[in-house]
Amino acid sequence: MIVPAYNESYIIRETVTKLLDEDFSVVVVDDGSLDNTGNELKGLPVFYIRHLINLGQGAALQTGIEYALRHRPGYLVTFDADGQHDVKDIRRMVELLEKEKAAIVFGSRFLPGSQTNVPVARKWVLKIARMINYLASGILLSDANNGLRVMTREAAMRLKITENRSSHNAQVQRMVSENKLRYCECAVNVSYSEYSRKKGLKNVNSIRILYDLILFKIFR
């Protein structure tokens, strides 16, 4: 379980505890947080890695993947730190991966069966980002910017994330396409709390997602 975190002291302990309660092994990559994110994890049986400076979520994921692969896991899961994901979705995604003999399963908040309270403005940004991701990667997902993914160890070994910001999602999807990895999507629940709305749903952040994707498309 790879959890990239940046300034998540308010919620990180709760997020990680839910994962530990399900008997998952957890790797937290603290991406140069300026708050007490690291201190909030004290006493918890997690693998904790800290970047000295903030490098971006893509870099944090790559650090976590490289660390996890040294321990030869059966599956790797990426899971956002802000509490939006539902821990109960993980085992369903693993079951789907095994059933479909897939290399990677992408979580989707827009498939039938999912439950989400995504704000309208954010929803439209994600729909536009979905199409830009498709142009950049060749893979058309229903939810191209969902941080919940389950993958095999072999698939993770094919991923070399160098895009540190929002465009890392498109890069992951492009590498799935280039390596001809079998993939599928799974309906998952995403819950936007007051905390996550204040932290991550500012209009400037939404615009930045599109900006990063356009740059990735032009200069990749």
**What's this model's pTM, rounded to 2 decimal places?**
0.88
Give the β-pairing of 2-5 and 27-31: parallel
Per-residue confidence in pLDDT tens, the chain, 220 aa: 999 999 999 999 999 999 999 999 999 999 999 999 999 999 999 999 999 999 999 999 999 999 999 998 899 999 999 999 999 999 999 999 999 999 999 999 999 999 888 777 778 878 888 888 888 888 999 998 899 999 999 999 999 999 877 788 989 999 999 999 999 999 999 988 777 666 654 444 545 555 565 665 545 5
Q: Which fold has domain 2-219?
A: Spore Coat Polysaccharide Biosynthesis Protein SpsA; Chain A (3.90.550)
- 2: nearest Cα among 80, 73, 106, 92: 80
